[in-house]
Amino acid sequence: MRVAVVGSGPAGFYAAAALLGADPPVEVDMIERLPTPWGLVRLGVAPDHPKIKSVSRAFERIAEQPGFRFLGDVEVGRDLHHADLVRLYDAVVYSVGAQTDRRMEIPGEDLPGSWAATELVAWYNGHPDYQELDFELERARRVVVVGAGNVALDVVRMLALTPEELGPTDTTDAAIAAICGAGIEEIVMVARRGPAQAAFTTPELAELGELAGADVLVDPAELAGAEPKDTNSERNLEVLRGYAAREPEGKPKRILLRFFRSPVAILGEEQVEGVELVRNELDENERAVPTGERETLDCELVFRSVGYRGVALAEVPFDERSGTIPNDRGRVLGPEGKPLPGVYCAGWIKRGPSGVIGTNKKDATETVELLLEDAAAGRLAAKPEATADAVLDLLAERGATVVMYAGWTAIDEAERGAGEKLGRPRVKLCTWDELRTAAEGASTTPA
Ligand code: FAD
């Protein structure tokens, strides 16, 4: 059997592992739009968290197994289409993640200086689609980060790191220079609900208190009466109370964590000059309900981190409301709610953008179990055209250059080699040209 796994993030790799380990083993083509694998492990997880990024070693071991091929720089929707995959493979697993962000839908959201956290994260991690962005950090005195999850904390922390803290990471050189040259004095994180409802986890919250260059401030009044909902919120509250009791040490930057506030407008004529916040109260279901009380906070930059969202693929069912592919435990459901034979999904595009890297293992394994069950029950159509060469021939015909796994290995070696000299894990290649050139010797060329 030959299966196409679309997307090389954690869900794609865990799906591949389950397929390659099946009895009899299944051949896997992992199709990825970037020349580099690992999805958000390379391009989302914060660069100052190398331990978390090191899960990529497990992905490398999966890629070494017989029957695995990486087809990088191949985008489904551009170079290959759903109909091609259905024709050329016994089954397809979509694990394309959540490629965009949710908006706040408030006035001023499109002013220059108002950004999605996604954009900053992709930029500092070296995503080749985001290297042209200029956040004008040098102009910023106060930055507002909207959201109360771990991504919001990543953004707050990355902007507060000192040159010494950033130096040993694989943050791109341009981002290190821009963050170190920024004029930022204060970073305000604004959470819609209370401290007990915040989605961030305690180790990430506690890390803020250990930063060399930033004091963390919390208004004790915003913690008053907070009732923990579970162990995570109990531990969060403990850490927050610790912050509220601290005397600022006069470090160069201040991080303010503010609760019960939502932005209602981003203010400014030509660019962001401030945000208007409304104070919220919680109703009996712990939903934020705005009061009439408003305040204005001057700032030069706003990053919204209010959730990621999946993007529809042509010809593949999509639920606009949840931003996911409709599915039953990973079996993709067609318009009548019936499973589409041979079409599956896993990871963020299956269940929405939540959970840690490991959550995708159980999720992708569940999908593959159903796929194998369907194969064993004869529910997959016979695919006489499903040969290993057919897809490469088609891509060559369409003029697509494919970065094979050896091409990625060449990129990886170049990056690690450049990093080694500087005591950094890697120096990322982050433009399409640099990546393709480094991979060139190990790419297929169009016929
Ligand atoms: P992704 O990792 O997004 O992978 C999807 C892949 O599909 C990408 O490589 C993409 O390029 C590819 N793709 C998309 N569309 C196409 C197409 N049309 N054709 C071909 N390929 C395509 N979890 C932790 O446990 N610890 C952390 O510290 C942590 N930090 C995070 C920080 C950020 C900023 C974010 C956003 C998430 C973080 N997570 C963290 C969560 C973790 O990254 C996710 O759970 C995980 O990456 C989701 O896996 P996925 O495979 O579904 O999607």
Distance of CA 59 to the CA centre of its chain: 17
User: E strand or H helix at 122, and its extent?
Assistant: helix 117-124
Check whether residue 258 and residue 216 sit in a common domain: yes
Task: Report whether pLDDT(447) > 70.
Answer: no
Collapse the DSSP code of 300 into the 3-class scheme (helix H, G, I; strand E, B; otherwise coil) and give the result. Answer: coil
Instruction: Report how many domains make up the chain.
Output: 2
Which atom of ligand 1 is closest in space to residue 355's alpha carbon? 45
Check whether residue 424 and residue 436 sit in a common domain: yes
User: Where is the domain boundary, 269, 286, 308?
Assistant: 308
- Report which of residues 355 and 301 the model is more confident about: 301
Going by the DSSP 8-state scheme, the letter that residue 401 receives in this structure is -
pLDDT reported for residue 425: 95
pLDDT tens per residue, range 285-342: 999 999 999 999 999 999 999 999 999 999 999 999 999 999 999 999 998 999 999 9
- What is the domain extent for residue 369? 2-99+310-445
Task: Report whether pLDDT(442) > 90.
Answer: no
Check whether residue 251 and residue 354 sit in a common domain: no
Rounded to the nearest angstrom, the distance between the alpha carbon of 43 and the centre of ligand 1 is 8
What average pLDDT does the chain have? 96
Rounded to the nearest angstrom, the distance between the alpha carbon of 44 and the centre of ligand 1 is 7
Cα gap 33→12, rounded to integer Å: 13
pLDDT tens per residue, range 8-36: 999 999 999 999 999 998 999 999 999 99
Q: Residue 129 has which token pair? A: 């689609």
Cα gap 244→240, rounded to integer Å: 6
Check whether residue 347 and residue 231 sit in a common domain: no
Of all protein residues, whose CA lies closest to atom 27 belonging to ligand 1?
45
Rounded to the nearest angstrom, the distance between the alpha carbon of 150 and the centre of ligand 1 is 14
Check whether residue 94 and residue 150 sit in a common domain: no
Q: What are residue 250's phi and psi, to 5 degrees?
A: 75, 30
Task: Report whether pLDDT(384) > 90.
Answer: no
CB 266, CB 299: distance < 8 Å: no
- Cis-peptide, bond into residue 24, ω within 30° of zero: yes
User: Where is the domain boundary, 258, 283, 308?
Assistant: 308
Q: Specify the pTM.
A: 0.96
Q: How far apart are the first and last CA of the chain?
A: 27
pLDDT reported for residue 386: 85
Rounded to the nearest angstrom, the distance between the alpha carbon of 292 and the centre of ligand 1 is 39
Which atom of ligand 1 is closest in space to residue 97's alpha carbon? 53
Check whether residue 112 and residue 94 sit in a common domain: no
pLDDT tens per residue, range 147-156: 999 999 999 9
Check whether residue 62 and residue 133 sit in a common domain: no
301-304 and 142-146 strand pairing = parallel
Check whether residue 107 and residue 248 sit in a common domain: yes
Of all residues in the chain, what percent carry a pLDDT higher than 70?
99
Cα gap 140→396, rounded to integer Å: 47
User: Where is the domain boundary, 266, 289, 308?
Assistant: 308
Q: What is the mean pLDDT of residues 240-264?
A: 97
Q: What is the mean pLDDT of residues 253-263?
A: 98
Of all protein residues, whose CA lies closest to atom 43 belonging to ligand 1?
40
Task: Report whether pLDDT(234) > 90.
Answer: yes
Of all protein residues, whose CA lies closest to atom 15 belonging to ligand 1?
96
pLDDT band, very low/low/confident/very high, at 138 (cuts 50, 70, 90): very high
pLDDT band, very low/low/confident/very high, at 385 (cuts 50, 70, 90): confident
pLDDT tens per residue, range 152-205: 999 999 999 999 999 999 999 999 999 999 999 999 999 999 999 999 999 999
Check whether residue 318 and residue 410 sit in a common domain: yes
Rounded to the nearest angstrom, the distance between the alpha carbon of 198 and the centre of ligand 1 is 22
pLDDT band, very low/low/confident/very high, at 264 (cuts 50, 70, 90): very high
Check whether residue 355 and residue 293 sit in a common domain: no
Q: In sequence order, what DSSP letters do the residues of 336-349 get, joined into one string? A: TSPEEEEEEE-THH
CB 161, CB 211: distance < 8 Å: yes
Domain CATH code at residue 133: 3.50.50.60
Rounded to the nearest angstrom, the distance between the alpha carbon of 329 and the centre of ligand 1 is 19
Q: What is the mean pLDDT of residues 43-59?
A: 97
Neighbour order of strands in the sheet with 274-282: 261-267, 274-282, 288-298
Which atom of ligand 1 is closest in space to residue 311's alpha carbon? 15
Of all protein residues, whose CA lies closest to atom 9 belonging to ligand 1?
39
Check whether residue 304 and residue 156 sit in a common domain: yes
Q: Which residues contact 427 (CB under 8 A, 6 or more apart)?
A: 170, 173, 415, 418, 419
pLDDT reported for residue 206: 98
Cα gap 98→121, rounded to integer Å: 14
Task: Report whether pLDDT(443) > 80.
Answer: no
Q: Which residues contact 218 (CB under 8 A, 6 or more apart)?
A: 195, 240, 243, 244, 256, 257
pLDDT tens per residue, range 331-352: 999 989 999 999 999 999 999 9
Of all protein residues, whose CA lies closest to atom 46 belonging to ligand 1?
357
Q: What are residue 385's phi and psi, to 5 degrees?
A: -90, 0
Domain CATH code at residue 414: 3.40.50.720
Strands in 158-307 per DSSP E? 186-190, 214-218, 253-258, 261-267, 274-282, 288-298, 301-304
User: E strand or H helix at 402, and its extent?
Assistant: strand 402-403
Cα gap 2→379, rounded to integer Å: 15
pLDDT reported for residue 446: 67
Check whether residue 94 and residue 193 sit in a common domain: no
CB 38, CB 56: distance < 8 Å: yes
Q: What is the mean pLDDT of residues 434-445?
A: 88
